[in-house]
């Protein structure tokens, strides 16, 4: 757990968030526009009694699904704003937390190989975020660089990083310390 590791000997810690200006230039106006249009349509149909669109949903359906759709449209920017990828290397291993979705730890004993990796987020992983691919998972937030971990099980993990060389150095330090402790 990352909370536990913050009180131990942290070798490396990186926090990444969705702060790309282009994302917010697209996301905020689109979310706002959809919320306004949908609210207007709900008001038109449910309050004024004028059907909304050529094939309107029933009033009951609109009363049920309308607020859910608005919650999603308004919640999406909030989700992107609060989401963050936290990567921590400590004496136990590599801890990945994609707030608020997952927590994962890769103990050094399960690590077979690792390297700095340059990827194409759009073509290899269909964008940024948490993505499954045929050999494992990718955890990314921005950019096109990270560290690819090959686990003893054969699974491949990609951790996006703004400092992949530093992350690899931290993993080097952690694995050396782990092997030294194991040898004693």
The predicted-structure confidence for 143-174, as pLDDT tens digits, reads as follows 899 999 999 999 999 999 999 999 999 999 99
CA distance 162 to 99: 17
Q: What percentage of the chain carries pLDDT values higher than 70?
A: 95
Distance from the Cα of residue 12 to its chain's centroid:
19
Q: Torsion-angle region of residue 158: left (phi > 0), alpha (psi -120 to 50) or beta? A: beta
- Residue of 167, 16, 146 whose CA lies nearest to 89: 167
Asked which of 82, 108, 126 is the last residue of a domain, the reply is 82
Q: Which two tokens stand for residue 99?
A: 């707030």
Verify that 106 and 168 share a domain, yes or no: yes
Verify that 72 and 53 share a domain, yes or no: yes
Strand partners of residue 150:
113, 156
Please state the domain count of the chain. 2
Verify that 10 and 65 share a domain, yes or no: no
pLDDT of residue 125: 64
Verify that 38 and 6 share a domain, yes or no: no
pLDDT in tens, 122-137: 777 667 888 888 889 9
Predicted confidence (pLDDT) at residue 2 exceeds the cutoff of 70: no
Verify that 95 and 171 share a domain, yes or no: yes
CA distance 125 to 146: 13
Across all residues in the chain, what is the average pLDDT?
A: 89
Burial of 33 (0-12, 13-18, 19+ CB in 10 A): exposed
Verify that 95 and 137 share a domain, yes or no: yes
Predicted confidence (pLDDT) at residue 3 exceeds the cutoff of 50: no
Predicted confidence (pLDDT) at residue 1 exceeds the cutoff of 50: no
CA distance 114 to 130: 19
pLDDT in tens, 89-126: 999 999 999 887 789 999 999 999 999 999 987 777 66
Verify that 74 and 98 share a domain, yes or no: no
The helix (run of H) or strand (run of E) holding residue 128 is none
The domain of 78 spans 21-82
pLDDT of residue 117: 95
């Amino acid at each position: 757990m990352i909370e536990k590791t913050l009180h131990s000997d942290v070798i490396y810690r990186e926090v990444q968030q969705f702060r790309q200006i282009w994302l917010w230039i697209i996301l905020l106006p689109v979310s706002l526009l959809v919320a306004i249009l949908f609210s207007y349509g709900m008001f038109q149909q449910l309050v004024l009694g004028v059907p909304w669109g050529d094939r309107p949903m029933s009033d009951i359906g609109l009363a049920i699904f309308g607020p859910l759709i608005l919650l999603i449209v308004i919640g999406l920017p909030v989700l992107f704003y609060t989401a963050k990828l936290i990567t921590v290397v400590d004496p136990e291993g590599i801890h990945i937390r994609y707030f608020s979705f997952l927590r994962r730890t890769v103990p050094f004993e399960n690590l077979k190989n690792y390297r700095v990796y340059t990827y194409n987020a759009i073509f290899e992983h269909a964008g940024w975020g948490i993505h499954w691919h045929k050999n494992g998972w990718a955890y990314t937030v921005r950019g096109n660089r990270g560290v690819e971990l090959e686990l003893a099980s054969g699974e491949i993990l990609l951790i996006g990083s703004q400092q992949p060389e530093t992350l690899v150095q931290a993993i080097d330090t952690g694995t050396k310390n782990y092997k030294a402790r194991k040898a004693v």
